[in-house]
Amino acid sequence: MGKGYYVSTKVAICLGLAVIVIIVAVGLLAGLLPEKDQCDHKCDITTRAPIKSSTFEASTKPFPSTTTSEPSTPTPSQASYSYRLPPNVVPVHYNLELKPILDPETEGNYTFSGNVEILMNCEINTSTLFIHSHNLQYDDQISLFNAEGKELRITPKNDAKQQYLILELDDGNMESGESYTFKANFSGNLANDLSGFYRSEYVEDGKPKVMATSQMEPADARKAFPCFDEPEMKATFNVTLIHKCERVPLSNMPVSSSISITNDGWCATKFEQTPKMSTYLMAFIVSDFTFIEDNSTFLVRVFARKSEIKAGRAARALRVAKEVLDYFGTLFDFPYSLPKSDQIGIPDFAAGAMENWGLVTYRETALLYDKNESSESNKERVVSVIAHELTHQWFGDLVTIEWWSELWLNEGFATYFSYLGTNAVEPGWNFLQGFILDDFQRALLADSYSSSRPLSAPHESIVTPADMSSVFDDISYSKGGSILRMMNDILGNETFIKGLRTYVKELKYNNTNVHYLLGHLQEAVTDDVVKLPATVEEIFSNWTQQMGYPCVSINKSGIISQSHFLMNPTSNVTRISPHEYIWTIPIRWISSSTDETQTHWLRDKYNNMTIPQSDSWILLNAGAVGFYRVQYDDDLFSNLLTQLQLNHSVIPLENRAQLIDDTFNLATAGLMKIEDALDTTIYLVDESEYVPWQTAINNLGYINLMFSMSMSYGNLQTYMKKQIRKIYDDYHNFAVIPESHFDQYMQVSALSTACTYDIRECRTEAQKLFASMKNGSRENQIKANLRYIVYCNAIAAGGQAEWEFALEMYKKSSFSMEKAKILSALSCSKEPWILSRLLNYTLDESIIRKQDATKAIISVANNVVGQSLAWSFLKDQWNYIFQQYGIGAFSFSNLISGVTQRFSTSSELEELQDFKVNTPDFGSGTAAMDRAIEQTTTNIKWRKDNEERINIWLQDHIK
């Protein structure tokens, strides 16, 4: 690493473990992955009455906007050079039939075939028809008919780059106002690439099994069937699945009929007609799964592998899904709109879950729960992910974005309302506290770089499929949710929900953009309830149309000002803001003399607010709801620190966390002294609440990351042992689990941090527990909450024998949640050759599933011993990794960020820059690579400015 630093082998081991435990444990606690975010089955022989088309009539949009960014729509002659469909033809209805081949006699040559009829309306005369198609093969039966049934002469062409099947009319045009029908037979590979119509393989009862499943979002429906694969191109669908009769077919709607069609065991199952919907929400599954159900109001089912259902691991998901759907139906004053809601756990699944309308797909870790084997964070993840995906049944499925440039109108809603849904199902958890850690702070960090982007961007800024995948990020999810949370606070819950109810009702089965949302919220505002300084659109367009957020500064005279906060203030901000990086900021504040929140609006660069001069302290952004950071002058900041150390409970829990997080980030940006940030951690010896503690651990984890090869690390370790000692003593017993939700998280955090910073009895106990299991205990006696801590510490302190034992545990375990814990722990080894072996296993799907490969690589990179190995592996295997994950996988950006997060030297920056120059395409990871370079530049500056000063401060506070 950098010059001038030396660590012994013993210290290197400790450092590797330290980084791993902090980063991975935080990930285990967080519950919902970003994973996309960014969401099984048995033959349904239930016959339901056909749904009448009038049930799904689309409404008229109530707020046509003159300011909405329109899609870049090429003329027919240009369309083959554009990724956007021309507006000439729109779909009305699909008749679709698919037949996956899953039989053993295929000898691994898995394929599917199908045929489709698409009824279309011509809006603008055209001689060229463009239909999305990707990796599909066609026979000669491609045809186009007019409304009278006359077949038109066409010349089909394939545009592989833009993923089109192009039909050129040999004579004349398709005429505006007329309807046409496209027909085609097609086939494709049922690959294991986790996208489109694909296969998932698993072993059950010692036998290999294979299923066909699907993942269409954002642009992979075109891999399953030719279609108009854009969210605004909604249509109705009639789906038929051809399958072996013993298998279970599922799609978005209930089964209408199922009949035997051959003498050798093939059946045709037809499903009821869908409502008007987007292609990315279609789902098709053929498996031998089974299910449990609740049919008390409408049909809710949970499908999974037979062994999982038999073990009772789907029961919790069924209860949660039913309760969440009922809760949202009441909250939005619009009941769930389909006859059934299926949830299914897929063994191979790239995202965390997917909100397919009526057939929601999940990773097994996000759906299946075992009371003896699952941790508290696993339990939370099941509830929150289900709540997230079922929010989408209204926000995303019923009301769908016009284009991917405003994905936050899907994912931001699902993020925020997943907290409300979870809170409704588990009121005793006090779950809304977790928003501060898991989304609010995450969003502030992600949005603090010049490489960030606005929530709502011009449609033409998102063009290619890689562009579409790239917006499934912390901006769409966590910032989107944070802005909605702020909207709720400013407008009040009654007004906010009132506006959302009309938004849902008037836009049902239609498409939306941000102007429709703000228009409905404005309609709900009444002056006698909500006092606003401007219209809803004027206030919130500042927050949706420009990237970043403000830093609000205040001095003891009450002068407040705002400026665009950047982690590296010297960054070159090239993105032009329509609002010149000025925000309309609602400043909620409290002081020592009152608990009642007051509001001051800051709409310009600066103004004055009246603050009580006699108060001992004043606190801005009460409740940490406003999406901004606060910088106090020295006197006001000193007053807050004094109060923290005298009686921290006087300051609200959310603001204790906010004060720590803001100060550390302001110090990184050079706006406050790093010593001030460290001062906010002194009071932690008396703090017992999880959210402030974990905020401090996360921010100190950055110092840990930067110090991991520095001789200053020992002082950090000594300080943290001193600070964590009391909370560790409260929770040190590995055999006793607290009752409350956040107390259990506090125990995990306390033990993880204690082991990380080398409280010996913590590590000794972890190693003893692992050894007892390794030496013949038939059952795993380690509490599920604490297994990762035990596994990781034992593997780090042990050698090949401990690692091999854990690897065998991983291979033998059939429960996905346990496998995830073990896989993360395998990266804790201190042996470079073992970590290299683990990296190579990510190329072998028989050991590490493709869905878990990027996580394993990142875990190795989090280990100080493995960081350079992971970086070299990424470069050496770039072509393979990019082919597998670079275009559509939601995890690809995380891979680039995770492998480079420790970079903090000029030589590492040069390596990154050279890699970018010499690599032709980063696909969906393009923005992540830009941020990695910016982050490395920030890390270099941070170390130069702060490392010596931090070491001096630590020396002064460990005496």
Provide the annotated active-site residues. Answer: 389
Residue 875, amino acid: K
Q: Confirm if 746 and 727 have CB atoms less than 8 A apart.
A: yes
| Distance separating alpha carbons of residues 485 and 436, to the nearest angstrom | 11
Task: Give the type of residue at 460.
Answer: E
Contacts of 82 (CB under 8 A, 6+ apart): 72, 74, 162, 463
Helix H segments across 775-925?
787-797, 800-812, 816-826, 832-841, 850-862, 867-876, 878-885, 892-900, 906-918
- Please state, in angstroms and rounded to a whole number, the distance separating the CA atoms of residues 319 and 311: 16
CB 315 within 8 A of CB 371: no
Strand partners, 130: 166
Are the CB atoms for 845 and 884 separated by under 8 Å? no
CA atoms in the 13 A half-sphere facing the CB of 266: 15
C-beta of residue 303 within 8 angstroms of C-beta of residue 342: yes
How many Cα atoms are found within 13 Å in the side-chain-facing hemisphere of 372? 6
Q: Which residues pair with 165 in a beta bridge?
A: 131, 158
> CA separation (Å) from 237 to 45, 89, 252?
20, 17, 10
Contact 429, 372 (CB under 8 A): no
Closest CA to 928 of 458, 571, 474: 474
Task: State which amino acid sits at residue 241.
Answer: L
Tokens of 40: 């099984």
> In whole angstroms, what is the distance from residue 42 CA to residue 245 CA?
11
Share of the chain residues as helix, strand and coil, in percent rounded to the nearest 5: 45, 20, 35
- CB distance 856 to 848 below 8 Å: yes
Going by C-alpha positions, the residue among 234, 232, 251, 231 that lies closest to residue 242 is: 251
Classify 680 as helix, strand or coil.
coil
Q: What angle do CA 364, 367, 369 make, to 5 degrees?
A: 95
10 Å CB burial of residue 122 (0-12, 13-18, 19+) is buried
Give, in order, the Cα–Cα distances in Å from 843 to each of 287, 690, 955: 26, 38, 46
Residues in the chain: 959
Tokens encoding 908: 């590492």
What residues are paired with 266 via a beta bridge?
A: 244
- Could you tell me if 303 and 41 are in contact, meaning their C-beta atoms sit under 8 angstroms apart? yes
What is the spatial distance between Cα 231 and Cα 214, in angstroms, rounded to a whole number? Answer: 17
**Residue 328 · residue 390 · CB < 8 Å:** yes
Alpha helix (H) residue ranges in 648-781: 653-668, 674-679, 690-707, 713-731, 741-756, 760-774
Residue 934: Cβ-neighbour burial (10 angstroms; 0-12, 13-18, 19+): buried
Residue 143, token pair as written in the block: 């045809």
**Cβ atoms 820, 792 nearer than 8 A:** no
- CA 119: distance to chain centroid? 35
Q: Which tokens go with 911?
A: 């390596």
- Whether residue 828 contacts residue 795, with contact meaning beta carbons closer than 8 Å, is answered with yes
